[in-house]
Amino acid sequence: MAYLRLRELVKSYDGKSNAVDNISIDVKRGEFVTFLGPSGSGKTTTLLMIAGFETPTNGVIELDGHDLALSKPYQRNIGMVFQNYALFPHMTALANVRFPLKMRRFPRKEIFPRAERMLDLVGLRAFTGRYPRELSGGQQQRVALARGLVFDPDVVLLDEPLGALDKNLREQMQVEIKRIHRELGITMIYVTHDQSEAMTMSDRIAVFCNGRIEQIGAPLEVYDRPVSRFVGEFIGDSNFFAGHIDRARPGWAELAGIGPVRIASDANTPTGEIDVMIRPERLRPCPGGDGGDGNVLKMTIEDVINHGDSMLVIGKAYGLPIRARLVGGKSDGLHPGTTLPLAWSPADAHVLLRRL
C-alpha cells in the first residue's frame, strides 16, 4: 500500500542530538502530504534526505520498494521545487523547463513538446521566451514547478515554495498546485510552516516538533482532534483550560478557576489531569447568559479585532485569557470593559490528557 516509506529515520549532525529523531511515515501513491512545523522541527531535513541531499544517520527510505540509499540524488526520479525558485537566469522559461529533460537524455524529439505542454499546464505558454528577470515572482514559481514536473518524476518535493510570495499570490498558487496535483495524480511532499497552506492543500498533514512527528492525519482530524497541546496551539487559534476528570463522574470536567463543565464523554475520554481545548469559533454569544444545554462563561472584553468577515474578541474569564471568534463584522456592544456571556456545547470541547 505504501509508495514512499520512511522507517525509523534519524539524522544527527554532531552525534549528540538528533535533528530528525526516529521518524516513520507511509505515503500512498498520488497522495499530497504536508510536513508542517516550526523552524528547526526537522521537516526540511527530512525532505532533503528523501531527495538525497542529506544522508540519514539511521533508518530506511524506500520508494516503490526500492531502497533510495542505493541511489545518488541525480539517479532518483524525484522533482524538487525550492522557495527561491533556483532558475537559471541566462535561460528562458522554456529552456529552464527543457533543462532536466536534456540532463536525463530524453529523446530530442520529445524535449520541446514536453516542455511546452508543461508550461501550458502551469498557464505560461505565452511566456516561453521570457527570462526569469522578466517574470513576476508567481510566474517564476510556476516555471520552477513546471521544471520539477516535466520529466514525470515519481515524487515531487516542494520546500516552502510559496514563502516569498504575497498573500493573494500565495492563495492563487495554492489553488494552482492542487489543480496540477489532481490533473497529474502525482505524489507530492510539501514542506511549510504555514498552517493555512497545510489545511488548504493536504490530503494528510504530518505535524513536526523537535525532530519528531507529533501527529499524522487528515487536515480536519488534526484541527478538531489534536493529540497534544502543541498540535492544538500550532494549528489554528485555541483556548486551553487545565482541569481534572473523575472516573466516577463521567460527562463532567472540573476546570481550574471555572468549576464543573459538561463534556462529551466516551470510552476514550481520558481521566485524571487533563487540558480542555475550545476553538474560538466554537464559542457563541448567549445574551442573558442562557447557554441552553451547553456551558456558559462570562468574558470581560479587553480588545476587539475586526477581520471584516469576523470579530476576534480577546478578554478574560475568571482571570483566565480567552479568545472568541464571532462571525460577522458587527461590533455593537463589544467594547473593552464590557461583559460578554459565551456558551459552548459539550461536543465543542476536545479533552487531552495533560503531559507532565
Residues 134 and 263 in one domain: no
Residues 185 and 244 in one domain: no
Domain end among 213, 229, 245: 229
Distance of alpha carbon 36 from alpha carbon 209, whole angstroms: 9
Distance of alpha carbon 41 from alpha carbon 21, whole angstroms: 10
Q: Please give the model's pTM, rounded to 2 decimal places.
A: 0.92
Residues 127 and 49 in one domain: yes
What pLDDT, on a 0 to 100 scale, did the predictor assign at position 308?
Answer: 83
Residues 116 and 137 in one domain: yes
Residues 223 and 262 in one domain: no
Distance of alpha carbon 9 from alpha carbon 21, whole angstroms: 7
Domain end among 180, 198, 229: 229
Residues 20 and 152 in one domain: yes
Residues 110 and 74 in one domain: yes
What pLDDT, on a 0 to 100 scale, did the predictor assign at position 151?
Answer: 94
Instruction: Find the helix or strand (DSSP H, E) in which 223 lies.
Output: helix 219-224
Distance of alpha carbon 214 from alpha carbon 226, whole angstroms: 9
CA-based angle 240:305:286, to the nearest 5? 60
Distance of alpha carbon 4 from alpha carbon 46, whole angstroms: 13
What pLDDT, on a 0 to 100 scale, did the predictor assign at position 168?
Answer: 86
Residues 220 and 251 in one domain: no
- Residue recorded with cell 527570462: 131
Distance of alpha carbon 162 from alpha carbon 192, whole angstroms: 9
> How do residues 178-222 score in pLDDT, each as one tens digit?
999 999 999 999 999 999 999 999 999 999 999 999 999 999 999
In CATH, what number is assigned to the domain containing residue 346? 2.40.50.140
| Cβ–Cβ under 8 Å, residues 335 and 303 | no
Residue 289 DSSP symbol: G
What pLDDT, on a 0 to 100 scale, did the predictor assign at position 289?
Answer: 66
Please enumerate, as own/partner, the contacts of 50-57 that have beta carbons within 8 Å and a separation of 24 or more: 50/4, 50/6, 50/78, 50/155, 50/157, 50/189, 51/76, 51/78, 51/80, 51/157, 52/76, 52/78, 54/11, 56/9, 56/10, 56/11, 56/20, 57/10, 57/11, 57/12, 57/18
Q: Residues in the chain with pLDDT < 70?
A: 289-293, 329-331, 356
In CATH, what number is assigned to the domain containing residue 35? 3.40.50.300
Residues 219 and 251 in one domain: no
Domain end among 176, 203, 229: 229
Residues 201 and 244 in one domain: no
* Residue-number span of the structural domain to which 31 is assigned: 4-229
What pLDDT, on a 0 to 100 scale, did the predictor assign at position 271?
Answer: 85
Residues 110 and 178 in one domain: yes
Q: Is 92 left (phi over 0), alpha (psi -120 to 50) or beta?
A: beta
Q: How many domains are contained in the chain? A: 2
Residues 288 and 216 in one domain: no
Instruction: Give DSSP secondary structure letters for 104-156.
Output: TT--HHHHHHHHHHHHHHTT-GGGTT--GGGS-HHHHHHHHHHHHHTT--SEE
